[in-house]
Amino acid sequence: MTQVNKQRPPATPRQAVSCCGPLDALLDPTFFKALSDSTRLTLVACIAKCGRGCSVGEIAECCSVDLSVVSRHLALLARAGVLETNKEGRTVYYKVRYAELVRSLRDLASAIERCRPSQKGACDGKCC
């Protein structure tokens, strides 16, 4: 017996925008704004490769940007949940929130994949 593939027809952009699902919740503008700057990406990569908390001064050595600018970039990344901070005396140490960052990116990738029409069983109402 042959099985008929019951795939729902593609939505129009107007239909899709009115449909709220997991993808909408995962597309956090604050998170993407934090990662949308090349200097911030360099800083995150530098801290991630160190594998430990680093001070602003140590992190500033990764790029040719003024210490105060680096500090502002790091604060924005911390507010977005990409970095965590630990204050020891007057020194603030920044560390990548590895588990949270990986989970956010994996959840987003999974949500996007669930909406892909070419996937078998995709768009069965779970993405919207």
68-97: pLDDT as tens digits: 999 999 999 999 999 999 999 999 999 999
C-alpha to C-alpha distance for 91 and 50, rounded to whole angstroms: 17
**2 in any annotated domain:** no
In a domain, 60, yes or no: yes
Write down the pLDDT at residue 19: 64
pLDDT for 122? 45
Q: Is residue 45 part of a domain?
A: yes
Q: Containing domain of residue 36, as a range?
A: 22-115
Supply the CATH number for residue 105's domain: 1.10.10.10
- pTM of the shown model: 0.75
> Would 17 be classed as within a structural domain?
no
pLDDT value, residue 65: 86
In a domain, residue 7? The reply is no
Question: According to the model, what pLDDT value does residue 35 have?
Answer: 93
Residues of the chain with pLDDT under 50: 1-5, 119, 121-122
Q: How many domains does the chain have?
A: 1
pLDDT for position 8: 57
3-state secondary structure the chain: CCCCCCCCCCCCHHHHHCCCCHHHHHCCHHHHHHCCCHHHHHHHHHHHHHCCCEEHHHHHCCCCCCHHHHHHHHHHHHHCCCEEEEEECCEEEEEECHHHHHHHHHHHHHHHHHHCCCCCCCCCCCCC
Per-residue pLDDT at 125: 53
